[in-house]
Homo-oligomer: A and B are copies of this chain.
Amino acid sequence: MAEVIRITDPADERLADFRDLTTADRRPDRPGGKGLVIAEGVVVVRRLLASPYPVRSLLGVERRIAELDAEVDGSIPAYVTSADVMAEVVGFHLNRGVLAVADRAAPWGLEDLARAKRLVVLEGVGDHENLGALFRNVAALGWGGVVLGPGCSDPLYRRSVRVSMGHVLAVPFTNVTEWPGALEFLRSKGFQVLALTPRADSLPLDEVDAGGPVAVLLGSEGPGLTGVAIDAADHAVRIPMSGGVDSLNVATAGAVAFYALGPG
């Protein structure tokens, strides 16, 4: 049961974590060096409560807090207020009626992720919505984790969390700076590294032998993977496309590849 606290004053200092959420990446002073993790809506707050991220507090209208009450540890304050006060604190109108904030958790290492049989490695995926959608697809199709290479955004940014439907909170991920060293490391751990690219000379996805551990490398929409990354992979692979259509959205291409290669 949550510790329910009623608040009527939008200036109440206990709501500091929720203030002005339109500002990107708030509270970089918190552990992890980046902003707090923010969940919006009952479904995503529920996933945050079940995640390894330490929840600091909830803010919501009466009805939404009541829906979540049984899942909230008694040590976590749940601030109940009106939709208008919420909008004033947050800086925009929330139609989902509840928010929760959490601290970052200790990051996973590449060694931890390399215990999975199926990994996604991203290069240059800077769009928060694509990143969120990718994590949702990773979770849905049973893949093991995400390695974020150069040029990727923060998957715990508010918009990514929302687009992922909160599934980013359940998927292990790590940032790597050694590039393409991280790919070489995965190969040394027995991974077959597959670079997904629409290039015509690459291997169709259904011809891949995906028996062992597989890491699929995805690049940003538009420029795609760098030559450095493709060269460091075992194979370049492609989704067979219809004439004239250059490529799918990166998260969609990922989903097709995760399905085609299976959860391992």
Chain A residues close to B by CB (< 8 Å)? 133, 136-137, 139-142, 167, 170, 239-242, 244-245, 247-249, 251-252, 255-256, 259-260, 263
Contacts and interface: CB of A to CB of B under 8 A. Distances in A.
B255 A140 contact: no
A168 to B, nearest CB: 12
B256 A136 contact: no
A202 B245 CA distance: 32
A180 B184 CA distance: 54
Contacts of A249: 133, 136
A167 B245 contact: yes
Given A133-B249, A141-B239, 9 more contacts: A133-B252, A137-B248, A137-B252, A140-B242, A140-B245, A141-B241, A141-B248, A248-B255, A256-B259
A248 B133 CA distance: 9
Given A249-B133, A255-B248, A140 B241 contact: yes
Contacts of A245: 136, 139-140, 167
16 contacts: A133-B249, A136-B248, A139-B244, A139-B245, A140-B241, A140-B242, A140-B248, A142-B242, A239-B259, A240-B263, A242-B263, A248-B255, A251-B252, A256-B256, A259-B260, A260-B260
Contacts of A137: 248, 252
Contacts of A263: 240, 242
**Ordered nearest first, which 5 A-B pairs have the shortest CB separation?**
A142-B242, A140-B245, A256-B259, A252-B255, A139-B245
A142 B142 CA distance: 27
Contacts of A141: 239, 241-242, 248
A106 to B, nearest CB: 23
A129 to B, nearest CB: 10
Q: Tell which of A136, A139, A252 has the most Cβ of chain B within 10 Å.
A: A252
A128 to B, nearest CB: 15
Q: Tell which of A140, A167, A240, A241 has the most Cβ of chain B within 10 Å.
A: A140
A141 B136 CA distance: 21
Contacts of A251: 252
Contacts of A140: 241-242, 245, 247-248
A263 B243 CA distance: 12
